[in-house]
Structure 1
Amino acid sequence: MSKADKERLKKEEQERKQQEEEAARLLALEEVKKQQKEEAEMAVERTKIENEERKCRKRDMEELVQIIEQNKEQLNQLNEERRQQAKWSRYMRCDGSPDPVNQGEINTYINLRLEDDTRNDAESVLKDSQLDLSLIAELQYLMTDTPKEQLSEKDIDMYHETICELEKLVCSKLDLATLQILCDATKLADSETGNLQHVVRSPDVALCVWGNLMKNPRVKSFEFSDLHFTFDIPRVLGLSDCAVRVLMTKFDHFSPTSKAAIPRRKKKEEVVEEAPAEEEGKKEGEEENEEKQDEEKKEEGEGEEKEETELDLMAALRGDTEGEQEEEVKEEEEVLEEDYEDPPTPEPPEYEDFDEEDDIIDLRANDVLGGIYQVNLLHMPPQPKTVGSWTITTLVDPPAIQPMEYSADPVANTEGQDKNKDKKDEKPAIAISMSLPDDVLFLEEPQVARWDEKRKFWSTNGFSDLNYNEDARTFSFKTTHFGTICLLQDTHINMPFQSWELRPHKLDSAVLTIIAAIVEIEIEIKDALCCLSQPKDKPELESIRGKWVTPAELIKMMKSAGVNVFPNEDSSKFVSIQNKHPLIEDRMYQQMALTASAMAYSWSKWNNEREREEVIFQAAEALEDEPLLEEDWSVFLATKRRVMKLKMTEFDDEFSSAPTGDVFKSNIYHLMTEVASEAALNRVKETNFQFVDCVEQLLRATKVLTYA
């Protein structure tokens, strides 16, 4: 081929390549244009759906809030009428008991009791103490039952002061009753042993006194057989004029005075900026502004270098979607003004560690169970002597019990003691054995502690040789000091829960089942009351099982019986859990309670694995009073803005948030309109507000969405 032909072919080849490249470029631009147009259309459609969902959310949430507020108003009105009736009944009471709210009446009552020396015998003191304890309980109930806005700080301080004075009165009278028993020891002495053995009991107090009248060194121990309480009598005490008082009380007036019972919130540190730091910040800010301006100029220069074809394409795209995007922006702005505003959610508080001495009991992590045992060593007062027809009595002024000091010799120094020291002078540790209270369920070996009056703490110092017999329900130990002791159990021994279920029986009736870490409990709910129905194989719970009370009373009874499934505000510090968002959790308990007459709810294994902004649970319609099958349950996802039914089941291998259909609702109550039957909706509408409140109180108290 000639040179001209080669150049011509080369030129034709270049033109063909240019045409192919141009065609490919135009095709790519067309594809980009098509893709962006589709994305714009999808964005517009998605925005329309979101806007519609926002409108529905605003409407649904306002309707839900109206229902909740209406129930709350009815409940407040009912409670206010109840409180007014209680005040009138208290005013009209004619049994001689003072009104603890009336400062004049209660002060007169306390002063007259202190001045009255005619009722210092044990039987009268225990009988009168029942009234004192009821007045204390009445004041404590008033402080928890009365709305905060109706109680001033002055009233609260006055109530606390009255409670303190009543507690001192009870303690003072019990000491005087003990003194009178000791003074009458000769009359009350046991005919067989010759020693004082006296027991007086009431529902809340057991006063037991042993007095050493015979000084028989062969007596090594003594047991109050009625209470199954045994203590050692060392030789040094067996030869002395001593007495031992064991005062067992079901109430605890010690723990509330300890700072170990108060939640320890961390204080937020306030950051104070110094002047030099502000000047440096201004300089750094000016330098950053200059750098940003330089970067913006560079970006503008790069933008001017774009190809004209791309500019034309973007212009064409803007022309196609300009109207739709403007419409989208207008709709979004309009809807945002109409969207439902969530109430502000405070930041979760942080709690400090318990940094006291190692022997101090943290009452945020341990519960005092079974009451208080005051084991006091006392001097035996002089006994009356009969001389002829005369009885000579030594009077002590002022009359009061006289404690006897006793501190056991250190075990470490026992072998190194002086061999010439008389064994009768040795002070060994006192062995104490007791049967655990019949109405308290201990789920582990109890922990024993002694009240330290100076530090106002329960202390584990001075105890040894602890022995727990679970089958016989006995507990024994040795202590180096006499004093006030108690038994404790881990507050969170039953947490976290393994599972839970709330299932309706019928209208205004349901059962809450919680399988805790050790025990399985069932709480029956009917109208405004509830009761513990399970477990039935624990005789320790016989006194509270089947007893219909308010949720607050049931919580108090179960805690006292050792069945604590009610987390404290700072329990997350002691239990490994996934703390869910408080606003979501709060709404869930409200909505579950509203629908508890027709819908069953249960735990989900996925809940603890998801973030705190997501709550996963199971739900099913349940109109018949019978257990549900596995296939009846569906998995639901709740966030701050929506609740939806998921395609997945509880038994899937992996979690998927894909919803069933396109139904999104802002709450369970309105989601029921899509997933529940007409009969279920009618039952929910007929539900009584007192039942709703009872269920909600129990759900909030157990916090099953967080602690399962």
Structure 2
Amino acid sequence: MNLRKYTILGGVFHVNYLHQPSQPQELASVPNLRITRSFLPNELQHVDFFESYDPPAPTDPNVRKQPEQIEEEMRKQEEALDRLIAIDLTWPQHVIFLELPIVCVWMEKEKHWTKRYVHDLKHNEDKGTMSLKTQVFGIFGLATLRYANLPFQAWDVKPESNGSVTINITTAIIILEFNVKDGLVCISQLQNSPNRALLDQIGKYVKLHRVKKMLKNAGIDIFPEHDGYCYVDGSCEKHWPTEKHLYSNMAILSGVFNFSWSRWNASQGRRNIVVQMREYAPDRSKQKTHLLVLVNPMKAYYIDCTEVSQAFVDKPVEGSKFCADLLNLVRSTTGIFIRKKVESYSKINVYAVYEFLVATRVVSFS
């Protein structure tokens, strides 16, 4: 079981075969007298158990079998399965399974998880239960795809009137909203969750590392590792120094500007990053329209293209000046009021937003 791709959720289950020491026995011939035969050590002892089982070979579609042969093979398979250990499990309610979990067994000698000894796995999604047959006793875990939430369907970063920053992330199933305030992060909304996991954590401001741990333990891993792109279909890993520097610029501007996902970003290769941005005033009912920004290792500029354009155009807007990055682009195209507002924004919050963007890598995984 590749733990870079899969993760064990909901704890582990110990299913063991134990030998119980002799218990006191009543002597019918002598009232009020009980006798016990003691064997040392007088404690529960593990009993080794292993049942051989060979899964049926896949059927060849080109070979036709008689009904009697098929029936005989099914009977033998059922007899072999009946010799295995039958286990019924209920899904833990404190975690969210976005995909059907895989049952695996911990191999103590080899120090790894395997599903080799688990057979006939059946799920009941409505009741949140499963049944299985296993060849061994031991430690069992429920494994699920680590990055089932990736790639993101959309993301959005916008300032609030109280000086905080709201970050929305839409995955294939779950919709998450975070609020960054005074250097702390809270989950402000959790939509489309299949159970009540994490509802008691809504609105609690904590450090980012605690939010990451809490979400991962609950089965919502939106924080890809450096090799996450190897296990996520549809992602486009961007040039990391450029991407990281862009997150720094976005965090500095997050108190004044609104940034969001662009449908053109994934198709522009590794060295080009496309995002939407606009000046945002939380107390204003009507906001400005989004502009598309293209950022690469050499420069950043507004492009003459929109989200609804027929085709992508990387041509700079008329009258553009050379700007090395997004921050310089904003400084060269905005007035003194906006620049001062950017400079006066809380540095603690800037760093917290930057940490969050680096941890989620929304540009590469959307």
TM-score range, shorter chain: 0.7 to 0.9
- The CA deviation string for residues 171-230 of structure 1, in whole angstroms up to 9 with x for no partner, is xxxxxxxxxxxxxxxxxxxxxxxxxxxxxxxxxxxxxxxxxxxxxxxxxxxxxxxxxxxx
CA 1:396/1:678 → structure 2, altered by over 3 Å: closer, same or farther?
farther
SS of 1:465's equivalent in the other structure is strand
Partners of 1:618 and 1:634 within 8 A in 2 = yes
Amino acid in the other structure paired with 2:257: M
Change over 3 Å in CA distance of 1:483–1:621 after alignment to 2? same
Residue from 166, 173, 176 that aligns with 1:511: 166
Residues 1:601 and 2:259 aligned together = yes
State which of 481, 491, 495 in structure 1 corresponds to 2:136: 481
Q: Do structure 1's residue 680 and structure 2's residue 335 form an aligned pair?
A: no
Letter in 2 for 1:520: I
Q: Confirm whether residue 619 of structure 1 aligns to residue 277 of structure 2.
A: yes
| 2:97 matches 1:457 | no
Distance 1:592 1:691 in 2: 12
* Separation of aligned partners in 2, 1:521 and 1:627: 24
> For residues 549 and 393 of structure 1, what CA distance do their matches in structure 2 show?
57
Contact 1:506–1:598 (CA under 8 A) maintained in structure 2: no
**Cα deviations by residue, 1:102-131 (Å, 9 ceiling, x for unpaired):** xxxxxxxxxxxxxxxxxxxxxxxxxxxxxx
Are 1:542 and 2:206 an aligned pair? no
SS in 1 for 2:46: coil
Distance 1:628 1:482 in 2: 63
> Where does residue 311 of structure 2 map in the other structure?
654
Cα distance in 2 between the residues matched to 1:396 and 1:621: 80
Aligned to 2:24: 384
Distance 2:295 2:215 in 1: 31
Counterpart Cα distance in 2 of 1:396 and 1:688: 71
Q: CA deviation at 1:526?
A: 1.2
Please tell me whether the aligned partners of residues 298 and 324 of structure 2 are also in contact (alpha carbons under 8 angstroms).
Answer: yes
Q: How does 1:523-562 map to 2 (within 5 A)?
A: 523-538=178-193, 539-562=196-219
Distance verdict in 2 for CA 1:621–1:399, change over 3 Å: farther
Following the alignment from structure 1 to structure 2, what is the Cα–Cα distance between the partners of residues 465 and 622? 55
Report the alpha carbon displacement of residue 615 of structure 1 after superposing the two structures with TM.
1.1
**5+ residue gaps in structure 1?**
1-360, 417-422
**Which of 401, 412, 418 is matched with 2:44 structurally?**
401
Distance change (3 Å), C-alpha of 1:528 and 1:393: farther
Gapped regions of structure 2 (runs ≥ 5): 57-71, 74-78
| Structure 1: distance between partners of 2:23 and 2:283 | 70
- Measured after TM superposition, the shift of residue 438 of structure 1 is 1.1
Distance of aligned partners of 1:665 and 1:615 in 2 relative to their CA distance in 1, 3 Å threshold: same
Question: Which of the pair is proportionally richer in strand?
Answer: 2
One-letter code of the match for 1:365? K
Pair 627,639 (structure 1): closer, same or farther in 2 beyond 3 Å: farther
Paired residue type of 1:553? R
Q: CA deviation at 1:381?
A: 1.5
User: After the TM superposition, which residues 62-211 of structure 1 pair with which residues of structure 2 at under 5 Å, given as runs?
Assistant: none
1:692-707 alignment to 2 at 5 Å? 692-707=350-365
Which of residues 663, 667, 670 is equivalent to 2:325? 667
TM-score, normalized by length of structure 1? 0.45
Distance (whole Å) between structure 2 residues aligned to residue 500 and residue 435 of structure 1: 34
Match of 1:535, SS state, is strand
Output one character per residue of 1:554-613: Cα deviation in whole Å (capped at 9) or x when no partner. Answer: 011101111111111111212242221111001011111111111111111111111322
Partner Cα distance (1:615, 1:412) in 2: 49
Contact residue 495 and residue 516 of structure 1 kept, 8 A: yes
SS at match of 2:140: strand
Report the counterpart of residue 63 of structure 2 in structure 1. none
Q: Which amino acid aligns with 1:486?
A: G
Shift of 1:433: 1.4
Shift in Å at residue 373 of structure 1?
0.6
Contact residue 21 and residue 42 of structure 2 kept, 8 A: no
**Which of 161, 175, 185 is residue 520 of structure 1 equivalent to?**
175
- Work out whether 1:469 is the aligned partner of 2:127: no
For 1:697, the aligned partner's letter is E
**Counterpart Cα distance in 1 of 2:117 and 2:274:** 49
Structure 2 partner of 1:367: 7
Query: Retained in 2: the 8 A contact 1:369–1:562?
Result: yes
Q: Which residue of 53, 74, 85 corresponds with 1:410?
A: 53
**Structure 2 partner of 1:4:** none
Say which SS state the counterpart of residue 636 (structure 1) adopts. strand
What is the rounded CA distance, in whole Å, between the counterparts of 2:283 and 2:222 in structure 1? 25
* Post-superposition offset of 1:392: 5.2
Q: Does the CA-based 8 Å contact 1:379-1:402 persist in structure 2?
A: yes
Change in 2 beyond 3 A, CA 1:409/1:705: closer
Q: Structure 1 residues 439 and 402, CA, compared in 2 at 3 Å: closer, same or farther?
A: same
User: Once the 2 structures are TM-superposed, how far is the Cα of residue 537 of structure 1 from its aligned partner?
Assistant: 4.4
Corresponding residue number in structure 1 for 2:69: none
Q: Matches of 2:55 and 2:140 in 1, distance apart?
A: 24
SS at match of 1:370: strand
The counterpart of 1:439, out of the listed 88, 94, 108, is 94
Look up the SS of the partner of 1:381 in the other structure.
Answer: coil
Deviations 1:409-464 (A, max 9, x none): 53779x89xxxxxx9xx972222112211111111111010011121111111222
Residue 509 of structure 1: how far off its partner (Å): 0.7
**Are residues 689 and 405 of structure 1, via their aligned partners in 2, closer, same or farther at CA, if it must alter by over 3 Å?**
same
1:271-290 residue CA offsets vs partner (Å, 9 max, x unmatched): xxxxxxxxxxxxxxxxxxxx
Q: Mark the CA change 1:645 to 1:392 in structure 2 (over 3 Å): closer, same or farther.
A: same
Q: How far apart in 2 are the matches of 1:546 and 1:504?
A: 17
Q: Distance in 2 between matches of 1:525 and 1:611?
A: 30
State the secondary structure of the residue aligned to 1:488: strand
> Does structure 2 conserve the Cα–Cα contact (< 8 Å) formed by 1:614 and 1:638?
yes
Q: Which residue of 1 aligns with 2:245?
A: 587
Deviation for aligned residue 1:386: 6.1
Q: RCO higher in 1 or 2 (8 Å CA, sep ≥ 6)?
A: 2
The one-letter amino acid paired with 1:362 is N
How far the C-alpha of 1:466 sits from its partner, in A, is 1.4
TM-score computed with the length of structure 2 as normaliser: 0.84
Contact persistence 1:637–1:646 (CA under 8 A): yes
